[in-house]
Structure 1
Amino acid sequence: MSTIDVSKNKALTTFWCYGNQLTSLDVSQNTALTKLACHKNKLTTLNVKNGNNSNLNIYNSGFTNNPDLTCIQVDDVAYANTNWTAKKDATASFNTYCTDGYTLIPDVNFENKLIALDLDSGVADGKVLTEKIARCYQFKYKLKLYFRFNWN
Protein backbone atom coordinates (compact mmCIF):
# COMPACT_ATOMS: atom_id res chain seq x y z
CA MET A 1 0.00 0.00 0.00
CA SER A 2 1.46 3.39 -1.01
CA THR A 3 -1.41 5.77 -0.19
CA ILE A 4 -4.24 6.01 2.29
CA ASP A 5 -6.79 8.77 2.87
CA VAL A 6 -7.96 9.03 6.48
CA SER A 7 -9.20 12.64 6.20
CA LYS A 8 -12.87 11.70 6.52
CA ASN A 9 -12.27 9.61 9.65
CA LYS A 10 -12.60 12.56 12.05
CA ALA A 11 -13.14 10.28 15.09
CA LEU A 12 -9.96 8.25 14.43
CA THR A 13 -8.00 7.99 17.70
CA THR A 14 -5.38 5.32 16.93
CA PHE A 15 -3.58 4.83 13.63
CA TRP A 16 -0.89 2.19 13.11
CA CYS A 17 0.41 2.23 9.54
CA TYR A 18 4.01 1.12 10.00
CA GLY A 19 5.76 -1.33 7.71
CA ASN A 20 4.00 -0.38 4.47
CA GLN A 21 5.08 1.49 1.35
CA LEU A 22 3.32 4.79 2.17
CA THR A 23 4.87 7.80 0.46
CA SER A 24 2.54 10.43 1.91
CA LEU A 25 0.51 10.63 5.09
CA ASP A 26 -1.76 13.47 6.17
CA VAL A 27 -3.57 13.21 9.52
CA SER A 28 -4.21 16.96 9.79
CA GLN A 29 -7.99 16.42 9.71
CA ASN A 30 -7.90 13.79 12.43
CA THR A 31 -8.23 16.04 15.47
CA ALA A 32 -9.15 13.17 17.82
CA LEU A 33 -5.96 11.24 16.99
CA THR A 34 -3.99 10.36 20.13
CA LYS A 35 -1.82 7.41 18.96
CA LEU A 36 0.29 7.19 15.80
CA ALA A 37 3.00 4.87 14.48
CA CYS A 38 4.15 5.28 10.87
CA HIS A 39 7.74 4.06 10.87
CA LYS A 40 9.22 1.79 8.18
CA ASN A 41 7.47 3.36 5.19
CA LYS A 42 8.73 5.41 2.24
CA LEU A 43 7.27 8.71 3.41
CA THR A 44 8.34 11.87 1.63
CA THR A 45 5.58 14.00 3.19
CA LEU A 46 4.05 13.76 6.64
CA ASN A 47 1.49 16.18 8.06
CA VAL A 48 0.50 15.70 11.71
CA LYS A 49 -0.59 19.32 12.17
CA ASN A 50 -4.03 18.54 13.55
CA GLY A 51 -4.34 21.06 16.42
CA ASN A 52 -3.95 18.23 18.93
CA ASN A 53 -0.22 17.45 18.96
CA SER A 54 0.05 17.91 22.72
CA ASN A 55 -2.26 14.89 23.11
CA LEU A 56 -0.67 12.83 20.33
CA ASN A 57 1.50 9.95 21.48
CA ILE A 58 4.02 8.76 18.91
CA TYR A 59 4.46 5.02 19.47
CA ASN A 60 7.24 2.55 18.81
CA SER A 61 9.74 4.05 16.39
CA GLY A 62 7.35 6.85 15.44
CA PHE A 63 8.49 8.43 12.18
CA THR A 64 11.83 6.61 11.81
CA ASN A 65 12.98 4.49 8.90
CA ASN A 66 11.55 6.91 6.35
CA PRO A 67 14.85 7.95 4.73
CA ASP A 68 13.29 10.36 2.20
CA LEU A 69 11.28 12.25 4.80
CA THR A 70 12.86 15.67 5.38
CA CYS A 71 10.02 17.71 6.88
CA ILE A 72 7.30 16.75 9.34
CA GLN A 73 4.50 19.32 9.58
CA VAL A 74 3.44 19.87 13.21
CA ASP A 75 1.40 22.23 15.39
CA ASP A 76 4.37 23.49 17.43
CA VAL A 77 8.03 22.97 16.50
CA ALA A 78 9.29 23.48 20.06
CA TYR A 79 6.87 20.88 21.41
CA ALA A 80 7.78 18.39 18.68
CA ASN A 81 11.52 18.90 19.22
CA THR A 82 11.13 18.41 22.97
CA ASN A 83 8.90 15.36 22.80
CA TRP A 84 9.46 13.60 19.48
CA THR A 85 13.08 14.17 18.36
CA ALA A 86 14.05 10.57 19.15
CA LYS A 87 11.06 9.38 17.10
CA LYS A 88 12.34 10.71 13.75
CA ASP A 89 15.34 10.18 11.49
CA ALA A 90 18.17 12.72 11.76
CA THR A 91 17.48 13.87 8.19
CA ALA A 92 13.95 15.00 9.09
CA SER A 93 13.01 18.22 10.85
CA PHE A 94 9.81 19.59 12.34
CA ASN A 95 8.15 22.64 10.83
CA THR A 96 4.74 24.29 11.02
CA TYR A 97 4.65 24.41 7.24
CA CYS A 98 6.36 21.98 4.86
CA THR A 99 6.46 23.01 1.23
CA ASP A 100 8.51 20.19 -0.28
CA GLY A 101 10.11 22.74 -2.58
CA TYR A 102 6.82 24.18 -3.80
CA THR A 103 5.07 27.51 -3.40
CA LEU A 104 1.29 27.26 -3.31
CA ILE A 105 -0.58 29.20 -6.01
CA PRO A 106 -4.31 29.15 -5.20
CA ASP A 107 -5.37 31.35 -8.16
CA VAL A 108 -5.68 29.23 -11.32
CA ASN A 109 -5.53 32.28 -13.61
CA PHE A 110 -2.31 33.43 -11.98
CA GLU A 111 -0.81 29.98 -12.26
CA ASN A 112 -1.78 29.81 -15.94
CA LYS A 113 0.13 33.06 -16.45
CA LEU A 114 3.17 31.51 -14.72
CA ILE A 115 2.86 28.54 -17.07
CA ALA A 116 2.69 30.90 -20.09
CA LEU A 117 5.85 32.63 -18.84
CA ASP A 118 7.59 29.24 -18.47
CA LEU A 119 7.84 29.72 -14.70
CA ASP A 120 5.63 26.68 -14.16
CA SER A 121 5.07 23.65 -16.32
CA GLY A 122 2.21 21.38 -17.19
CA VAL A 123 -1.31 22.09 -16.06
CA ALA A 124 -2.41 24.27 -13.16
CA ASP A 125 -2.14 22.15 -9.99
CA GLY A 126 -2.09 24.84 -7.30
CA LYS A 127 1.68 24.86 -6.82
CA VAL A 128 4.89 25.88 -8.52
CA LEU A 129 8.47 24.85 -7.86
CA THR A 130 9.90 27.53 -5.58
CA GLU A 131 13.25 27.42 -7.39
CA LYS A 132 11.49 28.50 -10.61
CA ILE A 133 10.16 31.71 -9.02
CA ALA A 134 12.79 32.37 -6.34
CA ARG A 135 14.50 35.05 -8.42
CA CYS A 136 11.29 36.88 -9.32
CA TYR A 137 11.07 40.22 -7.64
CA GLN A 138 8.04 41.77 -9.21
CA PHE A 139 5.49 40.58 -11.69
CA LYS A 140 2.68 42.66 -13.17
CA TYR A 141 -0.32 41.05 -14.74
CA LYS A 142 -3.29 43.06 -16.00
CA LEU A 143 -1.94 46.14 -14.23
CA LYS A 144 -2.12 44.43 -10.85
CA LEU A 145 0.85 43.56 -8.68
CA TYR A 146 0.37 39.86 -7.95
CA PHE A 147 3.49 38.99 -6.01
CA ARG A 148 6.79 40.28 -4.90
CA PHE A 149 9.63 37.97 -3.94
CA ASN A 150 12.92 39.08 -2.54
CA TRP A 151 14.65 35.86 -1.57
CA ASN A 152 18.38 35.90 -1.28
Structure 2
Amino acid sequence: MSVARALLLGVLVSCLPTLGCQVISASVSSPSDSISGTGHAIAGIFSAISTSSGSGGDGDSAKESYRRDLRQYTAAFARSGGTSADFLRGVTRIAENHGVSHWEAEPATPFAIGQGMREASFSEAEMNAFCSELGAGTPAAEIALRGWQSAGG
Protein backbone atom coordinates (compact mmCIF):
# COMPACT_ATOMS: atom_id res chain seq x y z
CA MET A 1 0.00 0.00 0.00
CA SER A 2 1.33 3.44 -0.82
CA VAL A 3 2.44 5.98 1.74
CA ALA A 4 -0.53 8.15 0.75
CA ARG A 5 -2.97 5.32 1.54
CA ALA A 6 -1.35 4.63 4.90
CA LEU A 7 -1.64 8.30 5.87
CA LEU A 8 -5.33 8.16 4.95
CA LEU A 9 -5.84 5.21 7.29
CA GLY A 10 -3.85 6.89 10.05
CA VAL A 11 -6.29 9.78 10.33
CA LEU A 12 -9.25 7.45 10.67
CA VAL A 13 -7.62 5.22 13.27
CA SER A 14 -6.12 8.03 15.33
CA CYS A 15 -9.38 9.94 15.73
CA LEU A 16 -11.92 7.11 15.96
CA PRO A 17 -13.92 7.21 19.17
CA THR A 18 -16.88 4.84 18.89
CA LEU A 19 -19.72 3.58 21.05
CA GLY A 20 -19.57 5.35 24.37
CA CYS A 21 -16.66 7.51 23.22
CA GLN A 22 -14.14 4.67 23.48
CA VAL A 23 -11.05 5.54 21.49
CA ILE A 24 -9.50 2.99 19.19
CA SER A 25 -5.81 3.59 18.86
CA ALA A 26 -3.62 2.68 15.95
CA SER A 27 -0.63 0.47 16.51
CA VAL A 28 1.02 0.58 13.12
CA SER A 29 4.70 1.15 13.63
CA SER A 30 6.14 1.74 10.18
CA PRO A 31 5.26 2.31 6.53
CA SER A 32 6.26 -1.30 5.89
CA ASP A 33 3.31 -2.53 7.96
CA SER A 34 0.33 -3.90 6.07
CA ILE A 35 -1.47 -0.58 6.51
CA SER A 36 0.81 2.30 5.65
CA GLY A 37 1.00 5.65 3.87
CA THR A 38 -2.25 7.48 3.08
CA GLY A 39 -4.37 4.89 4.80
CA HIS A 40 -2.91 6.08 8.10
CA ALA A 41 -3.76 9.69 7.31
CA ILE A 42 -7.49 9.01 7.21
CA ALA A 43 -7.74 6.43 9.96
CA GLY A 44 -9.58 7.63 12.99
CA ILE A 45 -11.79 10.56 12.04
CA PHE A 46 -15.06 9.16 13.37
CA SER A 47 -16.55 9.72 16.79
CA ALA A 48 -19.67 8.47 18.52
CA ILE A 49 -21.01 6.44 15.65
CA SER A 50 -23.41 3.99 17.25
CA THR A 51 -25.32 1.03 15.97
CA SER A 52 -28.46 3.15 15.99
CA SER A 53 -26.91 5.74 13.70
CA GLY A 54 -27.98 4.01 10.51
CA SER A 55 -26.09 2.71 7.54
CA GLY A 56 -24.75 5.92 6.08
CA GLY A 57 -26.19 4.99 2.72
CA ASP A 58 -29.67 6.36 3.25
CA GLY A 59 -30.80 9.93 3.12
CA ASP A 60 -31.97 12.92 1.23
CA SER A 61 -30.31 14.80 -1.60
CA ALA A 62 -28.31 16.98 0.81
CA LYS A 63 -26.75 13.86 2.36
CA GLU A 64 -26.19 12.42 -1.09
CA SER A 65 -24.33 15.58 -2.07
CA TYR A 66 -22.23 15.39 1.13
CA ARG A 67 -21.39 11.73 0.46
CA ARG A 68 -20.51 12.46 -3.18
CA ASP A 69 -18.14 15.30 -2.30
CA LEU A 70 -16.53 13.36 0.54
CA ARG A 71 -16.15 10.26 -1.66
CA GLN A 72 -14.44 12.30 -4.37
CA TYR A 73 -12.20 14.05 -1.85
CA THR A 74 -11.19 10.75 -0.22
CA ALA A 75 -10.36 9.18 -3.58
CA ALA A 76 -8.28 12.19 -4.63
CA PHE A 77 -6.51 12.30 -1.26
CA ALA A 78 -5.75 8.57 -1.41
CA ARG A 79 -4.19 9.03 -4.84
CA SER A 80 -2.17 12.15 -4.06
CA GLY A 81 -1.43 11.83 -0.35
CA GLY A 82 -0.98 14.36 2.40
CA THR A 83 -0.95 14.54 6.17
CA SER A 84 -3.60 13.58 8.70
CA ALA A 85 -4.17 17.27 9.34
CA ASP A 86 -4.68 17.87 5.60
CA PHE A 87 -7.31 15.14 5.43
CA LEU A 88 -9.10 16.36 8.57
CA ARG A 89 -9.19 19.93 7.23
CA GLY A 90 -10.65 18.70 3.97
CA VAL A 91 -13.34 16.59 5.65
CA THR A 92 -14.23 19.47 7.98
CA ARG A 93 -14.47 21.90 5.05
CA ILE A 94 -16.74 19.55 3.10
CA ALA A 95 -18.95 19.00 6.16
CA GLU A 96 -19.23 22.75 6.78
CA ASN A 97 -20.10 23.36 3.13
CA HIS A 98 -22.94 20.86 3.47
CA GLY A 99 -24.18 22.02 6.87
CA VAL A 100 -23.02 18.87 8.65
CA SER A 101 -22.03 20.08 12.10
CA HIS A 102 -20.96 16.78 13.69
CA TRP A 103 -19.45 14.85 10.81
CA GLU A 104 -17.59 12.60 13.26
CA ALA A 105 -20.92 11.09 14.38
CA GLU A 106 -22.55 11.12 10.93
CA PRO A 107 -22.79 7.62 9.41
CA ALA A 108 -22.56 9.13 5.93
CA THR A 109 -18.93 10.03 6.72
CA PRO A 110 -17.43 6.52 6.98
CA PHE A 111 -19.78 5.33 4.22
CA ALA A 112 -18.48 7.98 1.81
CA ILE A 113 -14.88 7.40 2.87
CA GLY A 114 -15.32 3.69 2.14
CA GLN A 115 -16.69 4.58 -1.30
CA GLY A 116 -13.76 6.90 -1.91
CA MET A 117 -11.32 4.17 -0.97
CA ARG A 118 -12.95 1.88 -3.55
CA GLU A 119 -12.75 4.67 -6.13
CA ALA A 120 -9.04 4.99 -5.30
CA SER A 121 -8.64 1.26 -6.05
CA PHE A 122 -8.22 -0.03 -2.50
CA SER A 123 -8.26 -3.81 -2.88
CA GLU A 124 -10.48 -6.05 -0.78
CA ALA A 125 -7.43 -7.07 1.26
CA GLU A 126 -6.48 -3.42 1.85
CA MET A 127 -10.04 -2.57 2.86
CA ASN A 128 -10.21 -5.54 5.25
CA ALA A 129 -6.91 -4.46 6.82
CA PHE A 130 -8.24 -0.91 7.07
CA CYS A 131 -11.41 -2.13 8.82
CA SER A 132 -9.30 -4.24 11.19
CA GLU A 133 -7.34 -1.12 12.13
CA LEU A 134 -10.60 0.75 12.77
CA GLY A 135 -11.72 -2.09 15.00
CA ALA A 136 -13.33 -5.03 13.28
CA GLY A 137 -17.03 -5.11 14.01
CA THR A 138 -17.28 -1.48 15.12
CA PRO A 139 -20.07 0.53 13.53
CA ALA A 140 -17.61 2.84 11.75
CA ALA A 141 -15.68 -0.08 10.25
CA GLU A 142 -18.88 -1.84 9.17
CA ILE A 143 -20.27 1.34 7.60
CA ALA A 144 -16.98 2.07 5.79
CA LEU A 145 -16.94 -1.49 4.46
CA ARG A 146 -20.55 -1.16 3.26
CA GLY A 147 -19.55 2.04 1.47
CA TRP A 148 -16.61 0.28 -0.18
CA GLN A 149 -18.87 -2.63 -1.21
CA SER A 150 -21.60 -0.32 -2.53
CA ALA A 151 -19.11 1.35 -4.87
CA GLY A 152 -18.86 -2.08 -6.51
CA GLY A 153 -16.49 -3.20 -9.07
- TM-score for the superposition, normalised by structure 2: 0.26
Larger Rg: 1
- TM-score for the superposition, normalised by structure 1: 0.26
More strand by share: 1
Tell which has more relative contact order, 1 or 2 (C-alpha 8 A, sep 6+): 2
More helix by share: 2
